Amino acid sequence: MRLSDTILGILLLALAGWVWWLTTFFPAFPGQDYGPNLFPRILAAGIGICAVLLVLRGLRSGGGMMAVDGWVRNPRQLLSFLAIPAGAVFYLLVSEPLGFIPTAFLLLLVLFLWFGTRLVVALPVAAGMTLLVNWFFGGLMRVPLPRGLLDPFL
């Protein structure tokens, strides 16, 4: 299934506006020119610009609003497509009780194996990327990641 660029652009523009609106509720840091809303607003502006370009391209092409491709009828490809949003939902539901490190590792490992990566490659890459992301966001950026089961050890 393929949506037209016009519809995708409108959806992305709505998403960008929603993210921008949500950042208006972020607290300001006294004495700083920028706060926690800066990075999400930069992303929202970039998504908004791309969305406008998609809408313009869709309007110029004049094609239909939706087309169904052959991969939608193939169960394996459809499950592969749904694996990414399912992984995001899994993370949202499991990361608090389980913790970021085990959740991210399991999620990456399952996705690597589903998409055909050999176990001998998937294990170290999933472990390495989990630790790298944990270090970057938890250590360097000071984002509070859920500790879950590992709280007594971290």
pTM, rounded to two decimals: 0.63
Q: Does 139 have pLDDT greater than 80?
A: yes
What residue spans define the domains of the chain?
1-67, 74-154
Pick 34 or 90 by higher pLDDT. Answer: 90
| 56-69 average pLDDT score | 76
Pick 36 or 131 by higher pLDDT. Answer: 131
Q: Does 135 have pLDDT greater than 80?
A: yes
State the residue for tokens 């194996």.
113
| 71-78 average pLDDT score | 80
Q: Does 127 have pLDDT greater than 90?
A: yes
Radius of gyration of the chain (CA): 20
The pLDDT of residue 11: 93
Q: What is the 3-state secondary structure (H, E, C) of the chain?
A: CEECHHHHHHHHHHHHHHHHHHHCCCCCCCCCCCCCCHHHHHHHHHHHHHHHHHHHHHHHHCCCCEECCHHHHCHHHHHHHHHHHHHHHHHHHHHHHHCHHHHHHHHHHHHHHHCCCCHHHHHHHHHHHHHHHHHHHHHHCCCCCCCHHHCCCC
The pLDDT of residue 52: 96
User: What is the tens place of the pLDDT at every residue in 9-58?
Assistant: 999 999 999 999 999 988 887 888 788 888 999 999 999 999 999 999 98
Distance CA 53, CA 57 (A): 6
Give residue 67's pLDDT band: very low, low, confident or very high (50, 70, 90). Answer: low
